[in-house]
Chains A and B, each alone.
Chain A
Amino acid sequence: MTLTTLLLLAAALIGIGIYGALSQQSFVMLMMGLELILNGVMLAAVAFWAFSGAGAPEGQLLTIIVMAVMAIEMTMGFALVVAVFRGKQADTTESLTELKH
């Protein structure tokens, strides 16, 4: 378990997350891709904290802030999904062809 292997794992998670965020039509699956990207980022932050940061507490704080960002992004994303669904009955990105409310 070296820093390099941990960063490779984080890069794999980020790559899969980017694929998911760009390719999925459904809103919820798109947000799963975003969650995977943030998962990879958190793992990389903890890996740097453990191997290159000498255990400085700012590393853990960064991870906690990224967790809060995940929660906020998921919450606002789902609120927007609800609002769009109520207005246009759309649950895929392809059904949103215009911005008119």
Chain B
Amino acid sequence: MIESMSHGIGVDIAFLLLATLAVVTAWRVFRTDSMVRASFFLLVSFIAVGVIMILLAAEYLGVAMFFMMAVEMTVMALFMVMFMMNPAGLNPMNMVHQERISIGAGVVSFLVLSVMALLAVFPDRPVSAGLDPVRSLGNEMLGDSMLIFESAGLVLLTTMIGVVVLSSHRGRYGAATEGSLPPGLESGGDPAGKPEEDEDDEDGGHHHHHH
């Protein structure tokens, strides 16, 4: 059983309030009608977890959570407004499918993880008092784990290129392959693709005879 670190009672009360806030707002994400409020509830949940990380003496990670999640959730709200029909929550909305299975999966996963958390014996090696977490993280990232760090940067660059490719319009005046035909099956022969329709066939063969 892990002994609690020598925190004051204030830290415990703050943790309890933040934990409740995180879980309640995470639940409200999927129960609210308004789409933009859903992304802001998620942002509050992330900020609560970020403050808990600061309480755990991981200051850089907590602050990084704040600004990363602020931007990410705002981008999500933007996408909500772009693509969904009900961003303001004027109509009640509950778009779920396979609800019982997903409730069951959520409850089962929570129970399995809680049982592991309650029954497993974890080693007791708390953070030493003199540790400067920001400095040690910096030394690690630019020292022994430099390869991991650089690979993550390269993956981010690949992602950016992939995103631009996926979401760009094809060509400036239309698709780049529009109007082009593949080469012939014999060299110098007719193009292998279907040729363009002639102008005369546009009316589809209907001929109106007015007498």
- Using a CB–CB distance below 8 Å, which chain A residues touch chain B? 1-29, 31-33, 35-36, 39, 42-43, 46-55, 57-58, 60-61, 63-65, 67-68, 70-72, 74-76, 78-83, 85-86, 91-94
Contact = CB atoms under 8 A, between A and B. Distances in A.
A34 to B, nearest CB: 11
Contacts of A94: 97
Contacts of A31: 76
Contacts of B7: 1
Given A19-B103, A28-B84, A60 B137 contact: yes
B29 A50 contact: no
Given A61-B145, A72-B155, A91 B107 contact: no
Given A55-B127, A57-B137, A67-B68, A14 B167 contact: no
B152 interface: yes
A33 B46 CA distance: 13
Interface of B: 2-5, 7, 11-12, 15, 19, 22-23, 26-27, 29-30, 35, 38-39, 42, 45-46, 49, 52-53, 55-58, 60-61, 64-65, 68, 72, 75-76, 79-80, 83-85, 95-99, 101-103, 105-107, 109-110, 113-114, 116-118, 122-128, 131, 133, 136-137, 139-141, 145, 148-149, 152, 155-156, 159-160, 162-163, 166-167
A16 B102 CA distance: 10
Nearest to B163: A79
8 contacts: A7-B113, A14-B109, A16-B23, A39-B26, A54-B125, A58-B145, A63-B61, A72-B155
A80 B155 CA distance: 17
A15 B116 CA distance: 14
Contact of A61 (B116, B137, B156): B137
B42 A58 contact: no
B156 A68 contact: yes
A36 B61 contact: no
B131 A55 contact: yes
A53 B140 CA distance: 15
A75 B137 contact: no
Contacts of B133: 55, 57, 60
A5 B76 contact: no
Contact of B15 (A1, A13, A35): A1
Contacts of A23: 30, 96-99, 102-103
B125 A29 contact: no
Contacts of B106: 15-19, 22
A59 to B, nearest CB: 8
B49 A57 contact: no
B136 A8 contact: no
Nearest to B18: A9
Contacts of A48: 122
A68 B155 contact: yes
Given A3-B122, A28-B76, A36-B45, A82 B167 contact: yes
